[in-house]
Amino acid sequence: MQDNLLETSMLSLQLLFSLDAELWDIIGVSFRVSITAILIATLPAILVGFFLAMVDFKGRWMVIALFNALMAVPTVVVGLTLYLLLSRSGPLGDLHLLFTQPAMIIGQVALAFPLLVCMSHSAFQSIDKRAWETARTLGANCFFAVTTIMKEARFALLAAVLAGFGRIISEVGCSMMIGGNIMSYTRNIPTAIALETSKGMFAQGIALGLVLLILALLLNFTLASIRGKGRLV
């Protein structure tokens, strides 16, 4: 068993470093889809988070509670909902998006959005109200005051974006349901790991798992180093 594990691990490293076309194709799909999704979701989500933190309106706590609840919805439930919407008989069936990369992007945007809203809301909440008032009284219009507040909360916002990216690049349920796991098109790292493991082919799964592990380490070290440089004293 130990020999087997060692052999599989060596094989997975060989796959990674020999630039195996199939493996890097899967990695490419993963990054293309998830980076696009996070780019689409980030700005609107941050603005919603800002609005929820700064503007007092009736029912605000309900909206915040709703986003918190959405953040906890399992990825397969989001996948199932989108599947029903995008399937041929669904209300958006005519768009023919099911089992395409755009469908995966929509799914990942839906997954990242509540997380980004909640985390950016917390980030803005932690910023002193005086920051907004100071910016405004020194001549900033609303747009520049918002950008000032974003700058003040930049480390927390960056953490939110990285957490959102981490969530969507590693999720399997939604991508499997609406992506369909089609090789060279919608097969991404998590769906490939699930498939290869179910076939008993662990080498590719381990190699892809290593990619996710390295990515997680890189993202967290990057964030930690930026935070370190931005320390207060």
Partner 1 sequence: MGLELTASNIVKRFGERELFSIEQLQVQEGESLHLSGDNGVGKTTLMKILAGLDKPCAGRINVTPNMKGRWSTSLHPKVIYLHQTPYVFSGSVKDNIAYGLKLKGISRGQIKRTVQSALEWARLEEFADHAAHSLSGGEKQRLALARAWVLTPGLLFLDEPTANLDKQSVDSVTELVRKMVDGGAAVMISSHQTNPLTEVCQRSLLLADGKVSESQFPKEMLFDA
Binding site residues, partner 1, CB under 8 A: 128, 130-131, 133-144, 148, 151-152, 230, 232-233
Q: How far apart are CB 229 and partner 1 at their closest, in Å?
A: 12
SS3 32: helix
Residue whose CB is less far from partner 1, 92 or 140: 140
Contacts of 112 (CB under 8 A, 6+ apart): 37, 38, 41, 45, 164, 165, 167, 168
Beta carbon nearer to partner 1, 60 or 129: 129
Q: How far is CA 53 from the centre of its chain?
A: 22
- Return the number of the residue (59 or 139) whose C-beta is nearest partner 1: 139
Smallest gap from Cβ 142 to partner 1, in A, equals 7
Residue 160 or 206 with smaller CB distance to partner 1: 160
Residue type, 180: G
Q: CA-CA distance, 36 to 112, in Å (whole number)?
A: 12
Nearest distance, CB of residue 222 and partner 1, angstroms: 19
CB of 136 to partner 1, least distance (A): 6
The radius of gyration computed from the CA coordinates of the chain, to the nearest angstrom, equals 21
